[in-house]
Chain A
Amino acid sequence: MMDHEKLKEIMESIREHIYKDDLDRDQFEKFIVAYHQLSKTISESQNIKNKNLLEIKNSFKQSSSLKEILDNMGDINTRFPSYLDEYLRVTLEPPFLTPSSLFEPEGALSLDVHTPFGIRSVRAELALATLFPGSLTFRYGRPLKIRVGMWHNIFRADLASTHVLSAEPIYQIDINGTSKSVYRPITLRTIRPNGGSKGFRICTSCLALDDDDERCNHQSIRRLNVRNYPRILKTIGSSTPISSKNLGPLLSNLIRKVRLYEPFEARITVLGAERGITLRDQSRIANIQYDPPIGIVLQTTGLGFEIIIPNDFISTVTRDAMLQRDLALQLISVKIYGLLSESNIPLYSHSLIMSAIISSLGMDQTRNIETIQERLTRSDFVQRTMNALSLESNFYSRIQFNQDNIQSLLFNLQLTEISIDAIQSHARYVLLHTISHNILLACCITSGSKLGDLDYILNENEIMIFDSVNGGNGASKMAYEYLKTSTEFNIKNYIKQDKIHEFLKPTSFEESFIEMMLPCLGNISNIVFLNKNLSLPESESRRRYLELNEKRITYEPAISRLRDLGIENLFPASIGYHSIYDFGDSLEAERFRELSDICVHGCPECSILGSKCNHGRFVEKYFLSKILQNRYMTHQLSDYIVDINTEYNVDEHFNAKNFLIFTIDCQNNDYLKYKERLMNYVNAFTGKKYGNKYIKFSGLWFDNNYDAENMITYYALLVKI
């Protein structure tokens, strides 16, 4: 066999001759092609000769897996598939792997959107959040709607016949005890809607859009602005913790441990969409359920915050009659929310129905849950509620209900269990959910992310925060790195160069999370406003108080009504349209509704996430409780709270524990005097040494106690560092 190098030499000499002989162009090209082919064949034959059996076997395996990938790609049911990018990517190996797009994170899942202007590829998680079926979009230049089909008769959208979904379900989810298959969307189809930036033609009765996709038979078509929100369920797949941290003083009383999960598998399922309009200053919302639900699986990075919720706290706090009644109200509200779609009733009727139920169960009068349960199961409950609902709907917007549907809903509602067990279980969930909102916000602040960059899932006592993009975006990892551990601080540690960065890291998580867990000024100023004889100590709370006070003259009847009801009854008062109070004037009733929706209970504005909430913006307030959160904080810190007027062995305390909270109750409106007394008391501990640690003043806040409404209490935090 001729030597490879010798052959190459011969070919090179031929090439030189051809150049010299000035061959015509066609012949020259033929030679160059032949030259390259031959050269390639020779080098390949050389490589094969050098390969051993194992390498040949490995190459064979690799070619089999490549064939498998190509076969799988061939099975993908796409209308206008382009395999080129995917094909090129499987033929390359790191570090030569090209990103699928320069502007997308590596490993991003994508799906196709079939528009009149061509196929557009969109990141899957973005599509589920903004381009879900039934939504309207302006992102392709002209208004487009993602098709949803005719859903208005049964409030269910058949997605399998409207869009291209994966052939097999990607996972199963459990919804109210029923297992449902979830499919991955592959191609979403769109349609040009009737309307644009000045509103869309929509049926005000069922909220179906007037287009060829979901047209209804009602006659009440108007051009209005339409709001759409997806209803998303997030669950956890297989996830592995790779490290964990114990937090420092105060936080360690609330969070047992923080774990970093990598990979973290999040299953994002879109169960349906909420569509809303505003008609005559009132909001109307319809709930569309997807059949089947669609979803994706994200492989990302996550954090797990294990929250300490002692059983004795739940059993103690739910003994409070006001909280019991409010939690029962939340339970009923959540149950109705679920029943509305099943009974084919638009979601906007929720408030009216709730208002009628509050009236028929007398929940604005009684706080005893046994009485509420007994009234709910009575045979005349349905009729009494129907009467109240009729009064309510006639008074306001004269909405016509299908009587059979309402009756069916109320009969189903009668099966709801309003027991202490159900309330305790709801209380635990509501508390965990409220804390999860605070943790998500604190993580966003710490990592400098937007709400869209992070997401959350509740998993028993663990709140999971994760990057909301496949492959992760670094936000949760950054929040984890900035979490301060219980590492001891002292100057000797600090000045060691290898430790210094630990102590210079921002404490944004601790500060923002704890401050969100403290009593909020809105809450305090509203309580104080309703207890007319109390002034306010701090300038910001005074400003909020004055803001409410500005409304005093115009809102006088509503304010009187609220003061008569008392703070403990504000939550039921804030739900519904309140014709039951018979103001005889719709404007007055509206003013009452507006004023009662203030931050006393169930209106935790600082924790509200809107459409980012896992339960959707409409029912969010039925899964949050600021009062529960405040009581939880007080309970968790109770062993550390000491009134400065009581006898207490502070030295003994500091020798055993790492922080202490001094309090003082203000007996009159001279708050500055009491605050000064507290500060003077705290001053005595400045720089004091306990063991090898020193006392540091680390916090000052105030609260208004619900149990003693005319009282302001100041708290000063001392930490041993």
Chain B
Amino acid sequence: MVHITEENVIIVDCELLIKECIKANDGKLAFVYLISPFMTNFRIPKTLTTFYSNFLNISDIVFFSDLVRMLANYGCTIYILTKPLTNQDNTNLNKWYFDNHSDLIDIYKAMKAKIRYNSNLHAKATITSQGVLVGSFNLTTSGRYYNIETGNYFSNSSGIEKEEYQKKLDWGISIYNASVKP
């Protein structure tokens, strides 16, 4: 288990998704659950997506959605669970955020991501076949860069850490299944 703060959350995020691409490239089962009540499309520093390989192509990533698109292109299944934002009047969100969230969901829909909504959602997690990242951070610019956040990373390795990973994975699957389709 690794303690996650606002300093390393985006590093772990990018790494988890890139590793899932490698797994998908091998023809193995690869998936990602992106669980966050609020989502925006934010830029990723190039330092975090620079990757050297002689058989994999990890490139052209500017926004977080590019990373998700790359996963989809490698054949990875993408599950998105978020809050339904259908009417701005019912929220205290500003218009910029509201539009950005809707646009991002449209982008994910175009990637054939499987989207579900849950109006009671407050949990935040990124779950792949290789690890799970849980904590206080939304999948937004503030959650990834500006706010003070905390959380944990459990890898799908062995022993107690694997058990924890499995619990979180089961939890993620169950709340996803319990949520509604758009």
Decide if A and B are genuine partners.
Answer: yes
- Decide yes or no: A507 and B145 within 8 Å by CB, A515-B54, A521-B55, A687-B153 being known contacts: no
Shortest Cβ distance from residue B94 to the other chain A in the assembled complex, whole angstroms: 20
**What B residues does A521 contact at CB under 8 A?**
54-55
B86 interfacial contact with A, CB 8 Å: no
Q: Mark B47-63, 1 if CB is under 8 A from A, else 0.
A: 11011111110010010
Q: Mark B146-159, 1 if CB is under 8 A from A, else 0.
A: 10000001011100
The docked-state distance in angstroms from the alpha carbon of A700 to that of B50 is 12
**What A residues does B56 contact at CB under 8 A?**
700
Chain A residue with Cβ nearest B18: A697
Partner of B157, one of A504, A684, A701: A684
Task: Tell me whether B55 and A540 are in contact (CB under 8 A).
Answer: yes
**What A residues does B45 contact at CB under 8 A?**
489, 494, 503-504
Residue of B18, B47, B130, B145 contacting most chain A CB atoms (<10 Å):
B47
The docked-state distance in angstroms from the alpha carbon of A540 to that of B56 is 9
Partner of B53, one of A494, A504, A689, A699: A699
The docked-state distance in angstroms from the alpha carbon of A717 to that of B56 is 14
The docked-state distance in angstroms from the alpha carbon of A346 to that of B26 is 52
A100 interfacial contact with B, CB 8 Å: no
**What A residues does B50 contact at CB under 8 A?**
507, 510-511, 698
Residue of B18, B53, B145, B157 contacting most chain A CB atoms (<10 Å):
B53
Shortest Cβ distance from residue A9 to the other chain B in the assembled complex, whole angstroms: 67
A325 interfacial contact with B, CB 8 Å: no
A37 interfacial contact with B, CB 8 Å: no
Interface of A is mostly: mixed
- Decide yes or no: A491 and B55 within 8 Å by CB, A503-B47, A679-B22, A683-B155 being known contacts: no
Task: Tell me whether B52 and A511 are in contact (CB under 8 A).
Answer: yes
The docked-state distance in angstroms from the alpha carbon of A280 to that of B8 is 65
The docked-state distance in angstroms from the alpha carbon of A683 to that of B162 is 12
One of B9-17, B30-38, B100-108 at the interface: B9-17
B4 interfacial contact with A, CB 8 Å: yes
- Decide yes or no: A689 and B54 within 8 Å by CB, A683-B157, A684-B157 being known contacts: no
B46 interfacial contact with A, CB 8 Å: yes
A672 interfacial contact with B, CB 8 Å: yes
A506 interfacial contact with B, CB 8 Å: yes
The docked-state distance in angstroms from the alpha carbon of A702 to that of B7 is 31
The docked-state distance in angstroms from the alpha carbon of A248 to that of B43 is 22
Total inter-chain residue pairs, C-beta < 8 Å: 111
Shortest Cβ distance from residue A444 to the other chain B in the assembled complex, whole angstroms: 16
Chain B residue with Cβ nearest A701: B54
**What B residues does A688 contact at CB under 8 A?**
2
B172 interfacial contact with A, CB 8 Å: no
Category for how many chain A residues contact B: 35 or more
The docked-state distance in angstroms from the alpha carbon of A683 to that of B14 is 13
Task: Tell me whether A689 and B8 are in contact (CB under 8 A).
Answer: yes
Task: Tell me whether B19 and A511 are in contact (CB under 8 A).
Answer: no
The docked-state distance in angstroms from the alpha carbon of A250 to that of B19 is 21
Task: Tell me whether B55 and A683 are in contact (CB under 8 A).
Answer: no
**What A residues does B25 contact at CB under 8 A?**
539
B6 interfacial contact with A, CB 8 Å: yes
Task: Tell me whether B130 and A511 are in contact (CB under 8 A).
Answer: no
**What B residues does A518 contact at CB under 8 A?**
52-54
A541 interfacial contact with B, CB 8 Å: yes
Shortest Cβ distance from residue B140 to the other chain A in the assembled complex, whole angstroms: 14
Task: Tell me whether A686 and B153 are in contact (CB under 8 A).
Answer: yes
Residue of B7, B8, B59 contacting most chain A CB atoms (<10 Å):
B8
The docked-state distance in angstroms from the alpha carbon of A495 to that of B155 is 28
- Decide yes or no: A675 and B26 within 8 Å by CB, A489-B45, A684-B155, A697-B15 being known contacts: yes
Task: Tell me whether A694 and B52 are in contact (CB under 8 A).
Answer: no
Q: Within B102-118, which residues are at the interface with A (CB < 8 Å)? A: none
A519 interfacial contact with B, CB 8 Å: yes
The docked-state distance in angstroms from the alpha carbon of A489 to that of B52 is 18
Q: Within B132-170, which residues are at the interface with A (CB < 8 Å)? A: 145-146, 153, 155-157
Partner of B54, one of A520, A687, A697: A520
Going nearest first, the 10 A-B pairs with the smallest beta carbon separation are: A699-B52, A503-B45, A538-B55, A687-B2, A687-B12, A701-B54, A518-B54, A683-B155, A507-B50, A489-B47
| 7 additional A-B residue pairs with CB within 8 Å, beyond A515-B54, A687-B15 | A503-B46, A511-B51, A515-B52, A515-B53, A683-B156, A684-B157, A686-B155
- B→A interface (CB under 8 Å): 2, 4, 6-8, 10-12, 14-16, 18-19, 22-23, 25-26, 28, 43, 45-48, 50-56, 59, 62, 130-131, 145-146, 153, 155-157
- A→B interface (CB under 8 Å): 250, 484, 489-492, 494-495, 503-507, 510-511, 514-515, 518-521, 538-541, 672, 675, 679-680, 683-684, 686-689, 694, 696-702, 717, 721
